[in-house]
């Protein structure tokens, strides 16, 4: 067995650097940091000003307004005001097309696989740059509050976010001038805010119920030795407090004989009533009654709502979330009594009826809702940031690898063994074999990066597995294992399984990457995706051609007497033609010529194969070329 160790760790963080915790929400975003004076996490800003609505308004001069100012534009200029951009991050138009109509702004209907775009004032924006605008505003707000420049942050995402959504979030951070030290799951952050998991001996199962504005998430987490593991997630990306508002609007329409379709046509009137409905809902969280009048369509309407009526209106919506909770429990293979803690997150859990319903479902007297439900995620992110800043050395939290790790295979291709963003520690492995008969050594080159060709990725090191016993090509079973530990140290084992003989190695280790390099590599991978694809296909075709040439030559030379001169002649010609084409980059021509060679040799190749197998079976050794 051979083993090497390579340090791929990103640059270390200095103690003095302030790291922000950011909750980049669908509806609202918040920033928090751990106050060094008392070690407590706190949100930045004064009371009402803590929440920054995740809304971006773009004017005719392409100037951006973010937050409350932009939220007001939802009424007056809905087509220039982008909300819920988080729903679009890392998604294609196809991914979101089902809900395209529910956005007040214009999505560019590109049916391709690339990220969906938004068109405003005839200019096209992508969700990453719009999210970056929100992050920039948050960064600026933090800098004003703290009186210093901030360059590092931890950003939270829903537990179900896939790789491209997480990457898009990271990229938005970078665009905003923030080094994103980690992307943390929102439920993990919320648990941290309640101190759950901070004690290493904590061994708990937690349900995090997050009912925000437009989304509902339930996550079942298990904490063991400071490691948070997601057991299951469920939810509904189109259920949330906004549905409560809509239910109220519908109720008022029916009470006052307003045609809801007509109201929806009048975007401004509709937005006004919707905002009033939200106000009613918020009032009813600590008052039994709401009343207000509003003018539109040259009439005055007096809208009222009792808490009991409100509960009836939202009952079906809350029931939907409870159904998701039951499914999440089922997926985690847990019963309600196995849940130790329930954490309430999201502004909509301020509605007492929601809390009561959740308590009833999990049969608990207590839920964690003492903290501000719209602050918990940001507070937890700040705690994680504090840990990463090196201020709480005792705590270990799961990290991810910034770039994929893999080895070079035939044709200079990158074969990824540990994909980017895998949680560490992680072990992964794959089996390889030799490409030549009697091959007794195999060079294993280790690379880091996202490009298809190793030449475009970064070489971390290489070693040679020696003393492989002579066997025909394809017969040795070489097991390569990658083990990445929590400190980012990669160990690699290579074993030839058939022989089990102890192998010797040569190591040439190299060193880690700076953040700038990581960034550059990701950027290159994104911009070169299509070109890379073509190069990968070409390399694969050339490899296939070379393998075929090798096999043909082998058959030709080791079985001279079985072939006619003419057969030999045409085969050699075809080989010659294919070899020449392999020098160029015309994949189609290579394929064509390869087909021709296969066509010529197939009949007697089959004959010879039978012969060879016959020999092997009678114990004769196949000679290497
Ligand atoms: P998101 O996670 O989607 O960004 P939040 O967690 O900030 O959203 O929750 C926003 C939702 O919370 C909105 O629907 C808002 O109306 C609702 N909300 C805010 N305050 C209250 C309250 N006091 N009572 C009930 N709902 C509230
Ligand atoms: Mg939220």
Query: E strand or H helix at 614, and its extent?
Result: helix 587-617
Which residue in this structure is represented by tokens 């019963």?
A: 335
CB-count exposure of residue 431 (10 Å: 0-12, 13-18, 19+) = exposed
Structure confidence at residue 293 (pLDDT): 93
Q: Read out DSSP for 538-562?
A: HHHHHHHHHHHHHHHHHHHHHTGGG
| Residue 186 falls in the annotated catalytic set | yes
* Residue of minimum CA distance from atom 18 in ligand 1: 347
Phi, psi (deg, nearest 5) at residue 178: -115, 135
Structure confidence at residue 555 (pLDDT): 74
Torsion of CA 508, 514, 519, 524, to 10 degrees: -30
Question: Residue 372: how many CB atoms within 10 A of its CB?
Answer: 16
Active-site entry in 77, 171, 186, 217: 186
Q: How far is the CA of 308 from the centre of ligand 1 (A)?
A: 20
Q: Write the pLDDT tens digit of every residue in 497-552.
A: 888 765 544 333 333 455 566 666 666 766 677 777 777 788 888 888 888 888 78
* Residue of minimum CA distance from atom 6 in ligand 1: 346
432 token code pair:
């390889």
- CA separation for the pair 310, 279 (Å, rounded): 13
Ligand that comes closest to the CA of residue 378? 2
Structure confidence at residue 526 (pLDDT): 66
Ligand 1 first shell, C-beta below 6 A: 25-28, 212-215, 240-242, 278, 281-282, 285, 346-348, 350-351, 374
Structure confidence at residue 12 (pLDDT): 33
Tell me if 485 sits within 8 A of 425, measured CB to CB. Answer: yes
Q: Write the pLDDT tens digit of every residue in 404-429.
A: 889 998 889 999 998 876 777 788 99
Structure confidence at residue 610 (pLDDT): 66
* Residue of minimum CA distance from atom 22 in ligand 1: 282
CA distances from 106 to 65, 101, 125, 299 (A): 18, 9, 11, 31
Query: E strand or H helix at 431, and its extent?
Result: strand 426-432
Q: How far is the CA of 212 from the centre of ligand 1 (A)?
A: 5
Tell me if 483 sits within 8 A of 444, measured CB to CB. Answer: no
Structure confidence at residue 113 (pLDDT): 58
Q: How far is the CA of 214 from the centre of ligand 2 (A)?
A: 9
Q: Which residue among 305, 348, 352, 369 is best mutated to probe the pocket of ligand 1, counting the most ligand atoms within 8 A of its Cβ?
A: 348
Structure confidence at residue 496 (pLDDT): 87
**Spatial CA neighbour of 273 closest among 304, 301, 307, 249:** 249
Give the mean pLDDT per block of 10 residues along the chain (625 residues): 42 54 95 91 88 94 92 87 90 80 80 78 90 95 89 91 81 90 91 86 92 92 80 88 95 95 86 92 97 91 96 98 95 93 96 97 95 95 87 58 83 89 80 87 86 84 82 88 73 84 43 57 68 78 83 76 80 90 89 87 69 49 34
- CA separation for the pair 569, 258 (Å, rounded): 89
CA distances from 460 to 10, 444, 612 (A): 13, 11, 41
Tell me if 330 sits within 8 A of 338, measured CB to CB. Answer: no
CA distances from 110 to 107, 530, 535 (A): 9, 17, 25
Residues near 487 by Cβ (< 8 Å), separated by ≥ 6? Answer: 9
Structure confidence at residue 552 (pLDDT): 81
Residues near 458 by Cβ (< 8 Å), separated by ≥ 6? Answer: 403, 447, 448, 449, 513, 517, 521
295 token code pair:
């003018």
| Residue 279 falls in the annotated catalytic set | no
CB-count exposure of residue 617 (10 Å: 0-12, 13-18, 19+) = exposed
| Residue 467 falls in the annotated catalytic set | no
- CA separation for the pair 364, 360 (Å, rounded): 7
Structure confidence at residue 501 (pLDDT): 61
| Residue 515 falls in the annotated catalytic set | no
Is the peptide bond preceding residue 425 cis, with omega within 30 degrees of 0?
yes
Q: Which atom of ligand 1 is nearest to the CA of 242?
A: 14
H-only helix segments in 410-476: none
Residues near 269 by Cβ (< 8 Å), separated by ≥ 6? Answer: 263, 296, 297
Q: What stretch(es) of the chain map to CATH 2.60.34.10?
A: 405-527
Q: Which CATH number fits domain 534-613: 1.10.3210.10, 1.20.1270.10, 1.10.3720.10, 3.40.50.720?
A: 1.20.1270.10
Q: Which atom of ligand 1 is nearest to the CA of 29?
A: 4
CATH number, span 405-527:
2.60.34.10
* E-state strands within 146-288: 152-157, 179-185, 203-211, 216-224, 227-236
CATH number, span 6-240+313-400:
3.30.420.40
CA distances from 547 to 412, 473, 582 (A): 14, 11, 12
- CA separation for the pair 598, 577 (Å, rounded): 13
Tell me if 465 sits within 8 A of 479, measured CB to CB. Answer: no
- CA separation for the pair 160, 221 (Å, rounded): 13
Tell me if 410 sits within 8 A of 53, measured CB to CB. Answer: no
Radius of gyration in angstroms for the set of CA atoms belonging to the chain, rounded to a whole number: 31
């Amino acid at each position: 067995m051979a083993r090497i160790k390579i340090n791929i760790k990103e640059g270390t963080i200095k103690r003095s650097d302030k790291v922000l915790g950011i909750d980049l929400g669908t509806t609202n975003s918040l920033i928090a940091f751990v106050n060094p004076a008392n070690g407590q996490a706190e949100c930045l800003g004064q009371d009402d000003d803590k929440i920054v609505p995740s809304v971006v308004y773009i004017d005719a001069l392409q100037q951006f307004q973010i937050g409350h100012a932009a939220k007001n534009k939802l009424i007056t200029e809905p087509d220039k005001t982008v909300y819920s951009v988080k729903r679009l991050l890392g998604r294609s138009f196809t991914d979101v097309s089902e809900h395209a109509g529910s956005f007040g702004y214009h999505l560019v209907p590109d049916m391709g696989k690339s990220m969906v775009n938004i068109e405003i004032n005839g200019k096209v924006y992508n969700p990453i740059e719009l999210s970056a605008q929100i992050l920039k505003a948050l960064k600026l707000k933090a800098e004003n509050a703290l009186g210093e420049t901030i360059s590092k942050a931890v950003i939270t995402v829903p537990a179900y976010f896939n790789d491209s959504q997480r990457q898009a979030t990271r990229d938005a951070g970078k665009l905003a001038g923030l080094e994103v030290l980690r992307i943390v799951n929102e439920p993990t952050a919320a648990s941290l805010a309640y101190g759950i998991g901070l004690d290493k001996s904590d061994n708990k199962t937690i349900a995090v119920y997050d009912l925000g504005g437009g989304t509902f998430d339930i996550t079942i987490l298990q904490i063991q030795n400071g490691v948070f593991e997601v057991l299951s997630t469920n939810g509904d990306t189109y259920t949330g407090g906004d549905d409560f508002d809509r239910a109220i609007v519908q109720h008022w329409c029916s009470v006052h004989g307003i045609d809801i379709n007509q109201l929806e046509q009048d975007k401004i009137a509709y937005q006004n009533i919707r905002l009033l409905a939200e106000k009613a809902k918020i009032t009813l969280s600590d008052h039994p009654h709401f009343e207000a009048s509003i003018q539109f369509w040259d009439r005055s309407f007096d809208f009222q709502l009792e808490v009991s009526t409100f509960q009836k209106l939202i009952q079906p919506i809350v029931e939907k979330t409870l159904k998701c909770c039951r499914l999440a429990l089922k997926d985690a293979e847990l019963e309600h009594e196995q849940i130790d803690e329930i954490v309430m997150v999201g502004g909509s859990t301020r509605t007492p009826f929601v809390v009561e319903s959740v308590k009833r479902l999990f049969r608990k007297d207590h839920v964690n809702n003492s903290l501000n439900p719209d602050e918990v995620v940001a507070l937890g992110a700040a705690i994680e940031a504090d840990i990463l800043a090196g201020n709480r050395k005792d705590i270990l939290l799961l990290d991810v690898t910034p770039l994929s790790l893999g080895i070079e295979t035939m044709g200079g291709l990158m074969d990824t063994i540990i994909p980017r963003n895998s949680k560490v520690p992680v072990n992964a492995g794959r089996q390889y074999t030799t490409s030549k008969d009697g091959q007794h050594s195999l060079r294993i080159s280790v690379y880091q990066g996202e490009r298809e060709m190793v030449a475009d990725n970064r070489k971390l090191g290489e070693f040679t597995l020696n003393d492989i016993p002579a066997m025909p090509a394809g017969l040795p079973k070489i097991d390569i294992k990658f083990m990445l530990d929590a400190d980012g140290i990669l160990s690699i084992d290579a074993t030839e399984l058939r022989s089990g003989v102890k192998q010797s190695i040569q190591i040439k280790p190299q060193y880690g990457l700076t953040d700038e390099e990581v960034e550059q590599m990701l950027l290159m991978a994104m911009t070169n995706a299509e070109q890379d694809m073509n190069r990968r296909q070409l390399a694969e075709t050339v490899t296939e051609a070379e393998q075929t040439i090798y096999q043909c030559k082998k058959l030709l030379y080791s079985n001279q007497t079985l072939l006619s001169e003419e057969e030999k002649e045409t085969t050699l010609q075809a080989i010659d033609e294919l070899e020449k084409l392999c020098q160029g980059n015309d994949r189609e021509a290579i394929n064509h010529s390869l087909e021709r060679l296969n066509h010529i040799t197939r009949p007697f190749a089959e004959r010879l194969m039978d012969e060879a197998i016959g020999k092997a079976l009678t114990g004769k050794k196949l000679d290497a070329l």
